[in-house]
């Protein structure tokens, strides 16, 4: 059922399914376009710009589109997680809110990666409202000088926040999530890319 709303169209780069490197279990990954934070060393720098690339979609339609194009039934989707990353999802908070509400009613759990800290999110009512629909979020700026070796975060200064209202994710599992990288048939590399000369673990898709 289509949700009625006044939010702008959501600018996304695209999505992939399945992925297992963006949170526990089999997941859908939605990559949004546009970032105002522009952390040095960001692996998704090519998604910062919103002037070109990607596509605009009604956020209330995206979940149904994903199900239709992946062939996932409602029953199957209930056993699959969804992760929204990017660039910066919270820069499109009004549209993200609509997507998250639909996603939470459809998928097993919902994770968002954001460069905003919890304090910054708390100062913006729309961003804060988004947090109500999340099972977990990785928050804070990426610090390329303090790269994390594990956990659902890119650098050790970032914080993993679990919404205690939802019980499908375990904080210990999130804190110890292994860093792996996937290369998808469409050319998208996702997960936690290694630094130059690091050993890389590739997961076959």
What is the helix (H) or strand (E) element at residue 17, kind and residue range? strand 10-19
What are the structure tokens assigned to 27, written together? 């997941």
Which residue in 63, 64, 44 sits closest to 54, CA to CA? 44
199: buried, middle or exposed (CB in 10 Å: 19+, 13-18, 0-12)? Answer: exposed
pLDDT, tens only, 166-201 = 988 999 999 999 999 998 887 777 898 765 534 444
Contacts of 75 by beta carbon, 8 Å cutoff, 6+ apart: none
Would you give the DSSP letter of residue 5? -
140: left (phi over 0), alpha (psi -120 to 50) or beta: left
Pairing of strands 181-183, 159-162: unpaired
* pLDDT given for residue 190 in this prediction: 87
pLDDT value at 58 more than 60:
yes
* pLDDT given for residue 201 in this prediction: 44
For helices 62-70 and 93-104, what crossing angle results, to 10°?
Answer: 50
* pLDDT given for residue 185 in this prediction: 84
pLDDT value at 56 more than 50:
yes
Across-strand partners of 12? 32, 55
Alpha-helical (H) ranges within 44-117 are: 62-70, 74-77, 93-104
Can you name the CATH fold of 10-203?
TIM Barrel (3.20.20)
Separation of alpha carbons 117 and 60, rounded Å: 26
Which of 45-59, 148-162, 175-189 shows the lowest mean pLDDT across its residues?
175-189
Cis status, amide bond into 18, omega within 30 of 0 = yes
Domain boundaries along the sequence of the chain: 10-203
Across-strand partners of 139? 159
pLDDT value at 3 more than 50:
yes
User: Phi, psi at residue 111, to the nearest 5°?
Assistant: -125, 140
* pLDDT given for residue 203 in this prediction: 43
The residue among 201 and 61 whose pLDDT is bigger is 61
What is the helix (H) or strand (E) element at residue 175, kind and residue range? helix 171-175
pLDDT value at 38 more than 80:
yes
> Would you say how long the chain is, in residues?
205
* pLDDT given for residue 57 in this prediction: 96
């Amino acid at each position: 059922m289509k949700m009625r709303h006044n939010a702008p169209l959501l600018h996304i780069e695209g999505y992939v399914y399945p992925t297992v490197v963006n949170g526990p279990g089999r997941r859908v990954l939605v990559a949004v376009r546009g970032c105002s934070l522009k952390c040095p060393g960001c692996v998704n720098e090519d998604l910062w710009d919103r002037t070109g690339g990607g596509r605009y979609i009604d956020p209330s339609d995206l979940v149904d589109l994903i199900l239709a194009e992946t062939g996932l039934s409602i029953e199957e989707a209930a056993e699959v997680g969804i992760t929204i990353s990017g660039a910066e999802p919270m820069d499109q908070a009004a549209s993200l809110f609509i997507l998250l509400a639909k996603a939470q009613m459809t998928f097993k759990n919902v994770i968002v990666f954001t460069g905003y800290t919890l304090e910054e999110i708390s100062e913006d009512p729309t961003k804060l409202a988004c947090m109500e629909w999340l099972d977990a979020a990785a928050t804070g700026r990426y610090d390329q000088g303090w790269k994390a070796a594990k956990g659902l975060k890119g650098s050790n200064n970032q914080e993993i926040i679990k919404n205690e209202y939802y019980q499908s994710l375990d904080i210990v599992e999130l804190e110890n999530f292994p860093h792996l990288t996937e290369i998808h048939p469409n050319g998208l590399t996702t997960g936690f890319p290694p630094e130059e000369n690091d050993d890389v673990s590739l997961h076959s898709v």
